[in-house]
Amino acid sequence: MRNLTRLLLVAAILTACAWPPALAHAAEPSAAASPGTLPPRWDKRIPLPPGAVMLSSTTPKEGVVYSADFAAPGSYDELVKFYETQLAKAGFKMGPKVAIPARKVYNRTFTWTDILDSVVITPSTADPSKMNVHVTYTPLPDTK
């Protein structure tokens, strides 16, 4: 189980660094992360930092794991604190985390029943005043 968790964490970090995927859906760069600009089948319980803007999203060819990328204002420390508090407040069980402050990289897995999701924070290469937030999620069965 520990090896699987480590593999998932490394895969999430590598995925966030090797973006954008072929099936990305672009949003207007100035669009706010509001219900009209959220990715397909977004789990609305997953918190987004104030001012987050969706950059792209993917839908799975197979399986059930979706992903979305957001640009978020704020520092690395502010965003880590946001996710450390808000995920628990939203009722998620916190899973393993990898935090490398020197590189400003953070990965936290979180679960709801048997659904495993994750969030990865990395510096934005496009705008040094923002951070990238990459979320992988599985929609709830009744979410369409």
Inside any domain, residue 74: yes
Inside any domain, residue 24: yes
**Residues 55, 56, 58: CA angle, nearest 5 degrees:** 165
pTM of the model: 0.75
Inside any domain, residue 143: no
Q: Please name the residues in contact with 27: beta carbons below 8 A apart, sequence gap of 6 or more.
A: 37, 53, 54, 55, 56, 57
CA atoms within 13 A on the CB side of 78: 13
The total of structural domains in the chain comes to: 1
Concatenating the DSSP letter of every residue in the chain gives -HHHHHHHHHHHHHHHHSPPPTT-----TT--SSGGGSPTT--TTS---TT-EEEEEE--SSSS-EEEEEEEES-HHHHHHHHHHHHHHTTPEEEEEEEEGGGTEEEEEEEETTEEEEEEEEE-SS-TTEEEEEEEE---TT--
Binned at pLDDT 50, 70 and 90, residue 141 comes out as confident
Inside any domain, residue 48: yes
Q: Provide the residue range defining the domain that includes 71.
A: 2-137
Q: Render pLDDT for 63-98 as a digit per residue (tens, 0 to 9).
A: 889 999 999 999 999 999 999 999 999 999 999 999
Higher-confidence position of 91 and 26:
91
Inside any domain, residue 72: yes
Binned at pLDDT 50, 70 and 90, residue 37 comes out as confident
Q: What is the pLDDT of residue 142?
A: 64
Q: How far apart are CA 113 and CA 83, in angstroms?
A: 19
Inside any domain, residue 144: no
- Residue 30: both structure tokens together: 């100035």
CATH code for the domain of 90: 3.30.310
In the predicted model, what is the mean pLDDT of the chain? Answer: 81
Inside any domain, residue 142: no
Which of 4-8, 43-47, 88-92 is least confident?
A: 4-8
Is 49's pLDDT higher than 50?
Answer: yes
Binned at pLDDT 50, 70 and 90, residue 62 comes out as confident
Please give the share of the chain, as a percent, with pLDDT higher than 70. Answer: 73
Inside any domain, residue 11: yes
